[in-house]
Amino acid sequence: MADAVTNDRPLALVLRAAGTNCDRETVHALELSGAEVELVHVNALARDPSILDRAGLLAFPGGFTFGDDVASGAVLAHIIEQRLRPRIQQFVDDGGLVIGICNGFQVLVRLGLLPGGEGRGAMLWNRSGRFEDRWVHLDSGTGESPWFAPGQRYFMPVAHAEGRFEWFPEHPGDRFPAHQVAFRYCNADGSEAQYPEDPNGSHDSIAGVISADGHVLGMMPHPERFVRPEHHPSWTRIRSDGVIPSEHELPEPMGLSIFRRAVAHLRSHQGDLVGGGGSR
């Protein structure tokens, strides 16, 4: 299959549906990270799943798909289950990268592409019983993944009502497998977080999980909302007497680093991935 993009710009697909509202931000984040990006409606992908053959990365952005009727992500997950599930599974098996952010995380859990909930469950309502919208600190897990650096501290926003990750182990008291933890909520100093620093009361303070091979990432925080230094909530305080600080004084856009790592992985594994396009 002929390459659709240059080898140094792997193709990423951003999937949208009715109610998706973080798709443009996700496209922007991936473009800043060096990917060629196509925004694709779920119906278009269902009509022509071969679009995936050209891509190395598939993103399920945040939002309120189909108004979160029934439950968060339930309708979109049902559509994908009926029309695309085997094809997306093949994409993952061939080495493609997948990220689900907020609503997208909920969809990936419902599809069984990530563990969580009871059987094919979903994220539950925040323990506060309300929508939570704030910036949070995160510690990344120790597992190997193209998406994050193990042991790295991150800072980015959350905005969700159904973000409580629960785990129903075979043996009561068992914790979620450590190698599949992507992120945990923590305090600024890295210590264990309580509400409101932990916005939802997830099992083991989990904010994101990965598949067994690390290629599929689901997370409730929004990395696409921190891809420029000016996105930092204290940006205006960094300026002194109206003078914009030098580059080394700017806050690091930690959300962007997640997308950059994924794009770098695709570039370095072009020969290992199945298919055509710039990466697969």
Read off the pLDDT of residues 216-226 as tens digits, 9 standing for 90 and up.
Answer: 999 999 999 99
247 given a catalytic annotation: no
Q: For the residues 220-244, what does the mean pLDDT come to?
A: 81
Say which of 160, 215, 222, 232 is annotated catalytic: 222
Read off the pLDDT of residues 70-121 as tens digits, 9 standing for 90 and up.
Answer: 778 889 999 999 999 999 999 999 999 999 999 999 999 999 999 875 554 5
Read off the pLDDT of residues 157-172 as tens digits, 9 standing for 90 and up.
Answer: 999 999 999 887 777 7
224 given a catalytic annotation: yes
**Which domains are seen in the chain, by residue range?**
11-272 (3.40.50.880)
Predicted confidence at residue 277, as pLDDT, reads 44
Q: Look up residue 186 and give its two tokens.
A: 């923590």
Confidence class of residue 247 from pLDDT cuts 50, 70 and 90?
low
Read off the pLDDT of residues 114-153 as tens digits, 9 standing for 90 and up.
Answer: 987 555 456 889 999 999 999 999 999 999 999 999 989 9
* C-alpha 122, offset from chain centre: 15
Burial of 63 (0-12, 13-18, 19+ CB in 10 A): buried
Say which of 25, 224, 231, 265 is annotated catalytic: 224
Confidence class of residue 21 from pLDDT cuts 50, 70 and 90?
very high
Read off the pLDDT of residues 36-69 as tens digits, 9 standing for 90 and up.
Answer: 999 999 999 999 999 999 999 999 999 999 888 7
The rounded distance, in Å, linking the Cα atoms of 104 and 116 is 14
22 given a catalytic annotation: no
Say which of 36, 102, 215, 232 is annotated catalytic: 102
Query: 162 near 125, Cβ under 8 Å?
Result: yes
User: Does residue 28 carry a pLDDT above 90?
Assistant: yes
User: Does residue 1 carry a pLDDT above 80?
Assistant: no
Predicted TM-score of the model (pTM): 0.89
The rounded distance, in Å, linking the Cα atoms of 151 and 117 is 25
The rounded distance, in Å, linking the Cα atoms of 19 and 66 is 5
Query: 108 near 100, Cβ under 8 Å?
Result: yes
Torsion-angle region of 116 (φ positive above 0: left; ψ -120 to 50: alpha; else: beta): left
